[in-house]
Amino acid sequence: MNKPKVAFIGTGGTIASLGRGPLDLQDYASLGNMMHAEDVLARWPETALVADVLPIRYRAIPSPAIGFPDWKALSELCTQLVQDHPDLAGIVIGHGTATLEETAYFLNLTVKVSLPVVIVGSQRPSSALSSDAGMNLVNAIRVAASPASRGLGVLVVLNDEIHAAREVTKTSTLRVQTFRTPDFGVLGHADGDAVEYYRQPIRRRAPDTEFDIAGLNALPRVDISYSYAGGDGTATRAFMAAGAAGIIAAGFAPGMSAPDDFEALAEAARQGVVVVQCTRAGSGRTFRGTRLREAGFLIADNLNPQKARLLLSLALTITRDPEAMLRIFRTY
């Protein structure tokens, strides 16, 4: 029986890293020894048992170095792969876990291919004793090849779990179960015998989105102001001076800032900066009460600060109308 064809794009990260030995679980990155896509597949030949995997060399870098130029290039690469390989069943992108959720959500908002796109990483390098890299990669390929994965937007697969790009976040520095979906839980599981789903995301997702990044060289500047007791607005004023078009207020739950922080954010809104209130809690919705409305703040629904930043950046490429912005945050 013919195996499905799946493309594997390597971007580096822990999943592509080799350390000093099997017990080097944490300091491996200091070596800078990262494999490209074809080397990762050679390291884990079991991938060939589940699909015909096409290695696509991109870059091999730590994920903190990834930003808009890479997101745009990866989005375009997905489109090109589908055009060049009409028999492709899915695409897997290997990625470092530090910014994995941001890449996944950005692609979920911008990629224009209808077949599954799956982002995968690992908590332990490929050289480590009991590395999770090989199993995560095999499972990601299985998920990308599964017809049941179509129409769910960009997916994230680690630790046998399948998450929606919009909802998943990294919750632990070292544990293999680090990626979690607060409030809602996984979409499904990649078990040894089957890929099974139990729910679907509701919010609008790839490829049916209104954002077009083809003509963009950069995104509008959006910064994050993180609330803490005694905050005095210095960060917000610095962001304004740097030319921020938008500021995400990562406030106290359920959506508040220290008094001086709030006044600085309100001044930013009066000067035309789009201020979007979310929380640092990591779970739950924000509420646009009287104080936020009167200050001209918008709300991020239940997006965490880093994902709210991405959505606001893209929203600013098509509108500055507050009602249109609120619609976008309710939609995506």
Judge whether 53 and 41 are in contact, CB under 8 Å. Answer: yes
Judge whether 202 and 298 are in contact, CB under 8 Å. Answer: no
- Pick from 24, 51, 19, 23: nearest CA to 35: 19
Known catalytic membership, residue 319: no
The secondary structure of the chain in percent helix, strand, coil, rounded to multiples of 5, reads 35, 20, 45
Three-class SS of residue 200? coil
Three-class SS of residue 96? coil
Burial (CB count within 10 angstroms: exposed 0-12, middle 13-18, buried 19+), residue 100: buried
| 262/277 Cα distance (integer angstroms) | 10
Q: Which amino acid is at 192?
A: G
| 141/158 Cα distance (integer angstroms) | 11
- Pick from 146, 153, 151, 152: nearest CA to 190: 146
Judge whether 172 and 178 are in contact, CB under 8 Å. Answer: yes
The alpha carbon dihedral of 288, 304, 72, 201 has a sign of: negative
Q: Tell me which DSSP letter residue 2 carries.
A: P
From 11, 14, 181, 236, active-site residue = 14
- Pick from 203, 173, 199, 177: nearest CA to 186: 199
| 140/93 Cα distance (integer angstroms) | 9
Residue 188 CA: distances (Å) to CA of 14, 138, 152, 181:
24, 16, 11, 12
- Report the catalytic residues: 14
